[in-house]
Structure 1
């Protein structure tokens, strides 16, 4: 069988980390998170806590990635840790929930921000709710809701899939350009806001009413879910490990530098929002980045920042499409039902079938869900597997102590233990909060349980595909 080639250098690897991580979350979630927490100071603390926990998890995964630098990343890791059944379940979850829902939600925000310039068509409220599907014990989905945004979302997915289908070099070069453009625009935004004098740090002391009546621990975990979404995508660098030059050196380097830069940028961006917008106004904002820029520079500033968000999410979508297809490619090598996805495109040397399979399923996710549903569902499932990856580091240290480790996670066993324990607390609290909100009528669907349900479908798929 043809193999994917090691053509990704360290600059592209770092661009992939930053490009996949900085996408839509930091431009959409802060308003919702402030409404959950009620305090700007708590909002800033969430970004720091989520960043540190993510870095702890990334450093733990980097040790495993340096041991097995192969295309498919976590799919290969879980085979070594827990066996083929669990690895397939992860591969299925990545295809059916984590990666495709992630791509769908990023593209959704890119299309949503287009509404700032062009009013995309949508049905009236009655028509949007005319067709609905009920999932037992989970809730309702409305496929006709926000139809214009969904149509543009699907078009964006198809365009970038076509580009990555034809070339690895072209996709990597596009990613480096988009990441550089994104970083420059964000730095100009932050610098321009703090030097404008059109704000006040007294906004940090303002409190707002919280959206839901939940405990402070539940609210903090709900806000962490939004921050984790904004940091999500860091694990994608492991899925292209088989195409990275000198992976033992470049994977840990790209994760540490990339995530460190993202945490600083997120903290400064949120501080900039708070500096310009009074807390109550920020809570009510649908386009917090654009509204912030408009307060400082007027309508032109709002338009420029909206363009920045569109380019940012476009770049993040490209990086995610590029990386996530590699995991579907590896899944195809282990399952006869997905064997078509494991074929390398002979002319372009890309995982062509895996790319298009992901695009089709991501488009179906777009039609069925909303932005918040997609992100909450995929974050819950992905963090379960992130936690299992951190736990698996202890298993590999015990099962294979003699393997040569070019890179070892610093602070072992404390750093990976903190990551695993925090992940367990986050999952339990999130599940409890989601169920409580659904029973109180605050949300139409239990997003975390929907993700779990789709993931568990992978078990009969695995058993039947092996017969």
Structure 2
């Protein structure tokens, strides 16, 4: 019995479940999967630090839903609406984003089932393209994408609280301070152990679904109230029943009025790309169960099931919530605030409802930060295994000083006596989170919070993520031809990855031209990463 299992037994008093999970784990790890994960790491450190399989389909589902239903659905509607000519077009963008994300998630489910390795995209890119591409992905995600995403979520928490705590907008430095404090608190909570994080993730998922249900019920209430009495004060804003949902109207994007009747097709395409990116960022997170695939029990079956269920739930929630927003708010207000959910609640039931929704939105964003801290910590650990980052970041738990106690030693020797139950309240092995990795990601995120804005960070994150999403799915197509005998417990139609690659590539190309600053920053990071990769080689 390993040390982690001994801790778990002491916590739950149940050894039979661990026995069943070990049997499944041995069956799931046959072949070359484990050596591939451990390539670049010493055998002894891999054996000692490799996490136990303790995540079920339910846990993977909770991680995916918790990541996707976060700040995006409560803030991205403003960015989507400002870059779409009508509410109807904006709703179609949300459907397109959901379908495209679903196609990507299905493709990643095939890869995760065939190569159940911690690190997700990093490991797939290494397997297909080699070391440099995998290093670039780890570099961009660890120093750019994940910190930017967590900064956005923290900013939304601060803006939501600020929107009801003061009649006037709070000063920028106050919002940034609130965002930083909220983020640091979430990192601290999620630096205890995996069990704590999973329990938090499941709890946050429940809060997220409750928030979505309340907003949708608000829209339904407004429709019913208007049907009974057209002059009812609970019928929401009048735009939803007095205007054509597909009628083109001017919108405001980054302070500029867009006259959709006079702009060129090329400009229109650029705005659509920006809208799609905002929607895709709201759906972002569908790949993160793959990051911890080796910790999932029987990933060949569990991972596809979790991804399918999560994508169905999230797509439905997003479409219904956005319809509710257009019912509850005047259409010219949709693009003017990042706290859309709070404004929608206040418009229907006043300030008390706004306070309740604000708290729920803050909890939802905190849940997304929880899942992101969990995912990026494991990504840094996987990158350290391949020596992309110093080995310090591979360590889990608190720093150890002096000689270790006997029960802290991990030894798989058959002659070793079983490790006795450990008092988890006093033993540092209870803390199995990647502390050093969490400190690294937290430090970078705080820089983004202090220097970045919501919309600039949003565009950068979208472009950076989709460059590697598309590259990874192209790799899946390559593997179908190069390694046809690779075990694939889950194998979707080839049309899904092909459609994902085509649409994703078009969006990347146009968005890069439409946002030269963010694309320049991304190109610079890629250049620096390539140079660092060559130097370390």
TM-score, structure 1 length as denominator? 0.88
Paired residues of 2:51 and 2:295 also in contact (CA < 8 A):
yes
Q: Paired residue for 2:190?
A: 164
Residue number among 440, 453, 465 corresponding to 2:524 in the alignment: 453
Say whether residues 1:383 and 2:409 are aligned partners.
Answer: no
Cα shift readout 1:93-143 (whole Å, capped 9, x = no counterpart): 11011111111111121122110243599997xxxxxxxxxxxxxxxxxxx
Residue number among 367, 372, 377 corresponding to 1:315 in the alignment: 367
Q: Paired residue for 1:374?
A: 457
Q: Paired residue for 2:199?
A: 173
SS at match of 1:403: coil
Q: Distance in 2 between matches of 1:261 and 1:232?
A: 14
Paired residues of 1:4 and 1:350 also in contact (CA < 8 A):
no
Shift of 1:237: 1.0
Q: Paired residue for 1:138?
A: none
Paired residues of 1:201 and 1:274 also in contact (CA < 8 A):
no
Q: Distance in 1 between matches of 2:299 and 2:518?
A: 36
Q: 1:156 and 1:85, CA in 2 relative to 1: closer, same or farther beyond 3 A?
A: same
Paired residues of 1:321 and 1:355 also in contact (CA < 8 A):
yes
Q: Paired residue for 2:30?
A: none
SS at match of 1:54: helix
SS at match of 1:165: coil
Residue number among 94, 109, 112 corresponding to 2:156 in the alignment: 109
Q: Paired residue for 2:135?
A: 88
Q: Distance in 2 between matches of 1:217 and 1:464?
A: 40
Say whether residues 1:417 and 2:498 are aligned partners.
Answer: yes
**5+ unaligned residues in a row in structure 1: which ranges?**
125-145, 436-445
Shift of 1:403: 1.3
Q: Which moved more, 1:236-245 or 1:14-23?
A: 236-245
Q: Distance in 2 between matches of 1:37 and 1:281?
A: 14
Aligned ranges for residues 222-261 of structure 1 at < 5 Å? Answer: 222-261=274-313
Q: 1:179 and 1:123, CA in 2 relative to 1: closer, same or farther beyond 3 A?
A: closer
Residue number among 60, 64, 71 corresponding to 2:107 in the alignment: 60
Q: Paired residue for 2:122?
A: 75
Q: Distance in 2 between matches of 1:403 and 1:17?
A: 26
Cα shift readout 1:375-408 (whole Å, capped 9, x = no counterpart): 1111101001000111001111111111121111
Q: Paired residue for 1:209?
A: 250
Say whether residues 1:296 and 2:348 are aligned partners.
Answer: yes
Q: Distance in 1 between matches of 2:200 and 2:85?
A: 40
Cα shift readout 1:411-445 (whole Å, capped 9, x = no counterpart): 22x1110000111100111012123xxxxxxxxxx
Q: 1:123 and 1:299, CA in 2 relative to 1: closer, same or farther beyond 3 A?
A: closer
Q: Distance in 2 between matches of 1:285 and 1:164?
A: 30
TM-score, structure 2 length as denominator? 0.77
Cα shift readout 1:326-374 (whole Å, capped 9, x = no counterpart): 1111111122642211112262222221111111111112122111111
Q: 1:177 and 1:120, CA in 2 relative to 1: closer, same or farther beyond 3 A?
A: farther
Paired residues of 1:25 and 1:230 also in contact (CA < 8 A):
yes
Calculate the aligned-residue CA RMSD, in Å.
2.0
Residue number among 333, 351, 370 corresponding to 2:434 in the alignment: 351
**For the pair shown, which has the larger CA radius of gyration, 1 or 2?**
2
Q: Paired residue for 2:444?
A: 361
Q: Distance in 2 between matches of 1:87 and 1:42?
A: 37
Cα shift readout 1:183-233 (whole Å, capped 9, x = no counterpart): 022112212321232144444255431335552211111100110110111
Paired residues of 1:121 and 1:147 also in contact (CA < 8 A):
no
Q: Which moved more, 1:362-371 or 1:75-84?
A: 362-371
Paired residues of 1:335 and 1:462 also in contact (CA < 8 A):
no
Q: Paired residue for 1:263?
A: 315
Q: Distance in 1 between matches of 2:449 and 2:90?
A: 29
Q: Distance in 2 between matches of 1:120 and 1:98?
A: 33
Q: Which moved more, 1:282-291 or 1:259-268?
A: 282-291
Q: Distance in 2 between matches of 1:210 and 1:116?
A: 22
Q: Distance in 1 between matches of 2:375 and 2:199?
A: 14
Q: Paired residue for 1:188?
A: 214
Q: 1:365 and 1:286, CA in 2 relative to 1: closer, same or farther beyond 3 A?
A: closer
Q: 1:358 and 1:275, CA in 2 relative to 1: closer, same or farther beyond 3 A?
A: same
